[in-house]
């Protein structure tokens, strides 16, 4: 206050000087003529007295500090030896949410793929494993690490690749691969680029199946074989479908497309159905069918270097229908 008084003195002097110069008189009373109402409490008020909260707080802190300083340092006991503290009556009271800090919400358990309901998991598997375009099972030669006598080693890789999700654990493998093999369209056909890896060949089919044990999930497969009667060129499609009762159904579209003779194919299918009675593995049925076809074609036609059988006559000897000139074999 002393400093403010010192500051006020010259200003009061200046004020007086100015008032005198202007011919005005200013008294001490007129300078401080404000009287506070009686109901006003005198400054600084009760809350800044001895009972002031901040003074109480300061006292408590001082006392706590002194107590801690007086306590001798005890050796730390192992955590197991500590008895659980009895809950104080204050803690037992239902806690009221603080308006200042807010209520901490219960932590929501994380959502994991395997804790989802099966319907939702199947939806995820469909997104990961089901493709719009057909899948072509193949064996492709790829270069492997290492050399023998200067020659690079090669390895046969199986396609299509299975979804990576199937590598996580046993349960995911079963579930993902059942969707992958059960819902995609698989077509076995020969590739023009890989003439030595004919997927219509029973040998190659057996190798592919051995590398893909989960292929027993296949519900339906197709076999595309080339058949030609120049200048026409088309493919015959065989469909092997697993039925609900456990059996297998084989059909082909040769009769639908043309009026060509298909008695050879029909008899191969009939023999396959007899041999594969009670069989539900479509890959095994495919293997039998391709073997039967090859035997029948080899009986009547000449095997060409291009992988097609050349039929001896333009008309079928049995049904007198127009014959297919060239027929694809395994």
Nearest Cα residue to 287 out of 213, 192, 188, 214: 188
**Which stretch, 35-43, 87-95, 127-135, 312-320, contacts Zn ion (CB under 5 A)?**
312-320
Cα distances from 84 to residues 54, 87, 146, in angstroms, run: 34, 9, 65
* Beta-carbon contacts of residue 285 (< 8 Å; ≥ 6 apart): 240, 248, 250, 272, 276, 279
**Which stretch, 40-48, 213-221, 292-300, 317-325, contacts Zn ion (CB under 5 A)?**
317-325
If binding is defined by CB under 5 A, does position 319 make contact with Zn ion? yes
CB of 178 to Zn ion, least distance (A): 40
Select from 250, 289, 316, 324 the one that contacts Zn ion (CB under 5 A).
Answer: 316
- In the chain, the largest separation of any two C-alpha atoms, in whole Å, equals 146
d(CA 111, CA 166): 19
CB of 315 to Zn ion, least distance (A): 9
d(CA 110, CA 186): 37
If binding is defined by CB under 5 A, does position 315 make contact with Zn ion? no
**Which stretch, 30-38, 96-104, 286-294, 318-326, contacts Zn ion (CB under 5 A)?**
318-326
CB of 259 to Zn ion, least distance (A): 11
If binding is defined by CB under 5 A, does position 318 make contact with Zn ion? yes
Select the residue whose beta carbon is closest to Zn ion and give its number: 316
C-alpha 175 chain-centroid distance:
13
CB of 321 to Zn ion, least distance (A): 5
d(CA 235, CA 253): 9
Cβ–Cβ < 8 Å for 137, 201:
no
Cβ–Cβ < 8 Å for 262, 255:
yes
CB of 222 to Zn ion, least distance (A): 23
Enumerate residues 48-77 that contact Zn ion by CB under 5 A.
none
65: left (phi over 0), alpha (psi -120 to 50) or beta: alpha
Looking at the Cβ atoms of 183 and 263, the one nearer to Zn ion is 263
Tokens 């990576």 — which residue? 164
Looking at the Cβ atoms of 169 and 259, the one nearer to Zn ion is 259
x/- track of binding to Zn ion for residues 163-182 (CB under 5 A): --------------------
Looking at the Cβ atoms of 137 and 329, the one nearer to Zn ion is 329
- Total residues at interface with Zn ion (CB under 5 A): 5
Enumerate residues 27-46 that contact Zn ion by CB under 5 A.
none
x/- track of binding to Zn ion for residues 230-269 (CB under 5 A): -------------------------------x-x------
How much helix, strand and coil, in percent to the nearest 5, is found in the chain?
40, 20, 40
Query: Which spans of this chain sit near Zn ion (rule: CB under 5 A)?
Result: 261, 263, 316, 318-319
């Amino acid at each position: 206050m002393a400093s403010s008084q010192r500051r006020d003195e010259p200003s009061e002097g200046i004020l007086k000087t100015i008032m005198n110069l202007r011919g005005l008189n200013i008294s001490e009373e007129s300078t401080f003529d404000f009287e506070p109402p009686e109901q006003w409490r005198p400054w600084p008020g009760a809350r800044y007295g001895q009972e002031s909260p901040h003074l109480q707080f300061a006292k408590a802190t001082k006392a706590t500090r002194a107590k801690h300083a007086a306590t001798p340092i005890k050796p730390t006991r192992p955590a197991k030896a500590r008895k659980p503290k009895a809950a104080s009556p204050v803690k037992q009271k239902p806690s009221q949410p603080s308006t200042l800090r807010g209520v901490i919400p219960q932590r929501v358990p994380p959502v994991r793929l395997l804790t989802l309901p099966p319907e939702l998991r199947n939806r995820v598997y469909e997104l990961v494993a089901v493709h719009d375009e057909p899948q072509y099972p193949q064996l492709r030669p790829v270069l492997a690490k290492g050399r023998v006598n200067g020659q690079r080693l090669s390895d046969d890789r199986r396609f299509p690749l299975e979804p990576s999700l199937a590598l996580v654990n046993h349960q995911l493998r079963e579930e993902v691969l059942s969707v992958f093999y059960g819902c995609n369209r698989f077509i076995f056909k020969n590739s023009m680029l890989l003439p030595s890896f004919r997927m219509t060949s029973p040998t190659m089919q057996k190798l592919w199946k051995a590398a893909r044990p989960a292929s027993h999930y296949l519900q339906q497969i197709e076999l595309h074989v080339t058949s030609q009667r120049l200048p026409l060129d088309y493919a015959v499609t065989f469909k092997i479908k697993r039925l609900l009762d456990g059996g297998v159904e084989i059909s082909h579209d040769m009769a639908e497309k043309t009026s060509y003779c298909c008695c050879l194919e029909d008899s191969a299918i009939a023999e396959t159905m007899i041999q594969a009675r009670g069989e539900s593995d479509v890959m095994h049925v495919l293997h039998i069918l391709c073997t039967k076809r090859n035997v029948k074609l080899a009986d009547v036609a000449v095997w060409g270097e291009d992988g097609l059988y050349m039929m001896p006559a333009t008309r079928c000897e049995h049904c007198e229908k127009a014959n297919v000139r060239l027929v694809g074999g395994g």
